[in-house]
Structure 1
Amino acid sequence: MGKTKKAVIVGATSGIGYAVALELIKEGWTLGIAGRRRDKLKELHAIAPNQIKYREIDVLNQNCAGELQKLIDDLGGIDVYLHCSGIGKQNFSLKSEIELNTVATNVDGFVRMVDCAFNYFAAIGYGHIGVISSIAGTKGLGAAAAYSASKGFQNTYIDCLDQLCHIRKLNIDFTDIRPGFVNTPLLDGGGKYPMLMDVNKVAKRIVTALKKKERVTIIDWRYRILVFFWRLIPLWLWRRLPIRN
């Protein structure tokens, strides 16, 4: 019997992160879960107290990387880091506070946490970093400028870290997971969304992608087709498309 796999999931208190945690619990993984909502962390911990450690972590706090390292230490080390923390809103009126908060979470917070995981894995000699980005990062959506741009940043940042591993001859794998619209609290009150996916089915697909160490995963064949074709649309035409929900 092989050793029990260990993972940290940041953003495990709701949505995709919560659903992935449940899947990994079923498969016997030992988890470190993190998020801002202590009540949800305790709720998840109560499901499998022998498999879970948790810490309340807000990626906007300057000390969040230190808290992540403490959670890794609580587990006695990890094999996988999965970054699920993120926010996004449609912002047709381009309110600055919405855009800046999105960037602070999806860029600044993302870098703090992913860099911490990268440096941990570099030190121990191996590891696997997975991130939940979005298909929005592949083609900017005018209704969600900061969200799209921040997800594009995440896509590029992971590409860069992957290349950096080869430069430094490090044994770290990366999985960039790009869902479309998933039925989670992130979309609550945001309009009607086409091709809405069930979060539990998405979580199962994410677990498969992590196990296979897939480099880039666009979840659901419909979104793979969509992304293929919208990448072919020239900018002069894209800007004229009334994409909104």
Structure 2
Amino acid sequence: MKRIVIVGATSGIGLETAKRFIGKGWRVGVAGRRIEPLEELHALAPDRVEYQTLDVTSDDAPQRLEELIVRLGGMELYLHCSGIGYRNIELDPALEVATLRTNGEGFVRMVTAAFGWFRAHGGGHLAVISSIAGTRGLGSSPAYSATKRMQNTYIDALAQLSHMERLNIRLTDIRPGFVATPLLNKANHYPMLMPVGRVADCIVHALEHRRRRIVIDRRYAVMVFFWRRLPEWLWERLNVRTTV
């Protein structure tokens, strides 16, 4: 029976993706800060679901991850869904630093722990939910877009490291567009908003086919294509006011 660990499984994309892997008969380890959603996931299949509370910004998070993996009996796939983001045109430093701690420090803490586990156990598949926001710097969300760019680059570096050391660790970088999750401020307008269930279906498909990189969905893939090709002077004059 295949085994997956999902960190950030208490809401949004992580929660919906966990439900789908449970429905497919996988052994699923779920982790996050809030105990109630984890208990609800466990109740869906008590014989196949293990859970662990952890905070990716805490020093003990890797130890808690290890405990979860042990109870699960190992893992073939690690999926990192934990993340926060804010529309912060006022540049409130508390919001920017909080974003850096979760999407930067917390991301590195957990991804290196998962990579290290796979390195010590003969390989595996490490996947992360990043964002199309990493394509260019978004003026409405500086820390969010910067940390997502960092995540994209970090996964590229780990993919190269895996090949350098012949580790048999597969990397997947999943980049959604606007998704209807609690992360989004409902007071703002979000174009091309995607239902979280459909995004979860796309994620499961990408992971089952071991994709290296995917943008969800095709509309966003086209948008990112043109974003990359805009000259700097034009990009800086665009009014992009929402968080992806």
Q: Same fold (TM over 0.5)?
A: yes
Over residues 23-79 of structure 1, what are the superposed CA-to-partner deviations in whole Å (9 max), with x where a residue is unaligned? Answer: 101100101100000011111111111110000010011110111011111111000
**Correspondence 1:29-48 to 2 at 5 A:** 29-48=26-45
Q: Give the root-mean-square deviation of aligned CA atoms.
A: 0.8
User: Does structure 1 residue 137 correspond to structure 2 residue 134?
Assistant: yes
Q: Tell me the TM-score normalized by structure 1.
A: 0.97
Identity of aligned residues (%): 55
Over residues 212-238 of structure 1, what are the superposed CA-to-partner deviations in whole Å (9 max), with x where a residue is unaligned? Answer: 110000011100000001100011111
What is the alpha-carbon distance in structure 1 between the residues aligned to residue 9 and residue 35 of structure 2?
11
How much does 1:190 deviate? 4.9
User: Does structure 1 residue 116 correspond to structure 2 residue 125?
Assistant: no
- Aligned residues of 1:58 and 1:64 also touching (Cα < 8 A): yes
Q: Tell me the TM-score normalized by structure 2.
A: 0.98
Matched with 1:68 is 65
**Correspondence 1:11-90 to 2 at 5 A:** 11-90=8-87
3-state SS of 1:142 partner: coil
For structure 1, the residue ranges without an aligned partner over 5 or more in a row are: none
User: Does structure 1 residue 208 correspond to structure 2 residue 205?
Assistant: yes
Cα gap change, 1:190 to 1:128, in 2 (>3 Å) = farther
Deviates more, 1:181-190 or 1:106-115: 181-190
What is the alpha-carbon distance in structure 2 between the residues aligned to residue 162 and residue 152 of structure 1?
16
3-state SS of 1:185 partner: coil
Matched to 2:203, the amino acid is I
For structure 2, the residue ranges without an aligned partner over 5 or more in a row are: none
Q: Structure 2 residue aligned with 1:8, among 5, 9, 20?
A: 5
What is the alpha-carbon distance in structure 1 between the residues aligned to residue 24 and residue 76 of structure 2?
15
How much does 1:189 deviate? 3.2
Matched with 2:176 is 179
What is the alpha-carbon distance in structure 2 between the residues aligned to residue 79 and residue 37 of structure 1?
25
Aligned residue pairs, count? 242
Matched with 2:186 is 189
- Aligned residues of 1:90 and 1:190 also touching (Cα < 8 A): no
